[in-house]
Chain A
């Protein structure tokens, strides 16, 4: 309010000139401040229900039996077979559920941790240290974001076959360690989060470069690093194309093993969709705890990017 009035007051015009805009701004603000009408909430409720519906449908079919999907008189209340179906999926030797879950957990964690560390280091150097070639190198990093994943899969496969890595879960970790998006993200964040004076102060106090990074940079980077961790984790968890190519059917990740549920000629959708629910639960749990961070991460990235 006071900000809006400043120009008029400084201008020293007649008091009338101050009164009129004050009135208008005041009204405009009140208009913006009112709560939206009920139908706005109606739209939002519909959207959220739409988001949830496929998951509920999956649970509904997953708790029926092999005929539920095709039953025209199916009820919207789940039958009681979910745990039975889930147990069938978990114990199916072709699915390797526990193996897949473990692979998904550790590869996603390793990828996310490594991406955060490498990106923070590189972002620190690009945003806060001066060195010859920093600008073209950063431009190069940004340019690599446009290169599709598919472009590299054939030689990667040839390379990993040469090393004897194909079929090992580690083969899906290495290609995901270098995240151009992560470097860009941390650079953008650190540029505005750390005042140069703080670095100079640390240097004057005799801190080495790595010590400065660790105490000043890492501390300041924490919020952005947490968001980067979440995004990378979700992305690594959901990644399918490359794991599907390179992994053995005996040693899959969750999405790969999910895709195998449907690959028989005779498909029982109550089992498939029970498996879908099982495989989705871990990320849903993560979403309940960290969804807020994901939301603010997307919104923060949008303004800067």
Chain B
């Protein structure tokens, strides 16, 4: 309404002659209300999210950093500044380094097979299947099973003496594996839980990206004589690059925070008698709500965040360089070549300046 009125007032030609009084534009109350509505509404609509985020997201983020520099007193609900002592304490704990090693080990054992199997499963689902939706749902099913439930079930499956997995392995002549004793085997068992829940989910994400690849590419490749593997390597993988990066980054953020599965891996939930499967988040929990030392837990939280950031960036670069680009950006140049090109351009520019002088 307001815009319509405004437009009319502006386009009306100014009438000559002193006898006609100049029209004064007066906005009625409803017009003013409408303008105010247009201006304020967007902020009003985004405010619930930002208000809640400020209270439960931004403020805790900053406050964690504050607490991490303190010796926090549970009872007085306050602390005194002690500088970086909490960080120094954590970094000198053998348990922290063990937890770091375990977290990485579990993360690698889960994310790499997960990605490969999800890619494979996505390629299978990408075929012209009957009952597509049924298979997709079947693959997604583990996603709705709570991680705690998965942990409890797999703890029983991976029992050391009489577990089902050891019984199966015994059938093919592999001796009972001490899943709850050896660090490496406990990591395998915990990684299996993670993989169980996420392979199907990730395969659906990759499947969606695969279906967005124009089929002409494959037709052209077939004409050129490329086999199935070559097509997968040279067309599918490069086209999936953005999605792969997304999947890898999210699985990094999730994988490094792993808590439920190791927590449920035995009845005590403290990461094993010799910290065999103690993870960073489990250690954070033990520091904060086992020892009730919030300063240390907060410092641990910030260290975890930094670790996630670093690994996320490393992943990004590795994926960027491992998986080729999906074409159209010209030949890839080495750094030396780029530098040479830049030097040339600079020389040309300098030359032009000389000429002008």
User: A residues near B, CB below 8 A?
Assistant: 4, 24-25, 28, 31-36, 40-41, 43-44, 47-48, 50-52, 54-55, 57-58, 61, 69-72, 117-119, 121-122, 124-126, 129-131, 134, 137, 141, 144, 146-159, 161-162, 174-175, 177-180, 183, 203-204, 206, 208-210, 213, 234, 237-238, 240-241, 245, 254-255, 258-259, 261-265, 267, 269, 272-273, 276, 279-280, 283-284, 286-287, 291-292, 294-295, 298-303, 305
Contacts and interface: CB of A to CB of B under 8 A. Distances in A.
Contacts of B49: 118-119, 121-122, 141, 178-180, 183
B273 interface: no
A240 B45 contact: no
B306 to A, nearest CB: 10
26 contacts: A32-B128, A35-B128, A40-B124, A47-B200, A50-B196, A51-B141, A54-B153, A122-B45, A122-B49, A131-B39, A148-B253, A150-B281, A152-B57, A178-B52, A180-B53, A238-B146, A241-B281, A241-B285, A264-B267, A265-B267, A273-B156, A298-B140, A298-B201, A302-B243, A303-B212, A305-B246
Given A126-B46, A151-B301, A69 B153 contact: no
Interface stretch (B97-105, B255-263, B331-339, B342-350): B255-263
B280 to A, nearest CB: 8
A230 to B, nearest CB: 10
Given A152-B64, A154-B298, A174 B56 contact: yes
A206 B1 contact: yes
Task: Classify chain B's interface size.
Answer: 35 or more
B282 to A, nearest CB: 10
Nearest to B266: A262
B84 to A, nearest CB: 17
Given A154-B64, A255-B260, A261-B152, 13 more contacts: A4-B216, A25-B219, A69-B162, A137-B46, A146-B309, A159-B59, A162-B77, A174-B55, A203-B3, A213-B41, A238-B146, A240-B148, A301-B205
A174 B144 contact: no
Contacts of B138: 44, 47-48, 51
Interface string B160-172: 0110100100000
B178 interface: no
Contacts of B222: 28, 31
A204 to B, nearest CB: 7
Interface stretch (B9-17, B106-114, B129-137, B179-187): B129-137
A50 B140 CA distance: 12
Nearest to A117: B48
Contact of A129 (B42, B133, B301): B42
Interface in B199-219: 200-201, 204-209, 212, 215-216, 218-219
Contacts of B201: 298
A150 B162 contact: no
Contact of B56 (A175, A210, A287): A175
A226 to B, nearest CB: 16
Contact of A158 (B67, B161, B209, B309): B67
Contacts of A55: 145, 153
Contacts of A118: 48-49, 52
Contacts of B135: 44, 48
Given A33-B128, A180-B53, A28 B146 contact: no
Scoring A35, A41, A119, A155 by chain B CB atoms within 10 A of each residue's CB, the highest score goes to: A155
Contact of B145 (A146, A265, A280): A280
B301 A150 contact: yes
A238 B61 CA distance: 24
Contact of A47 (B64, B121, B129, B147): B121
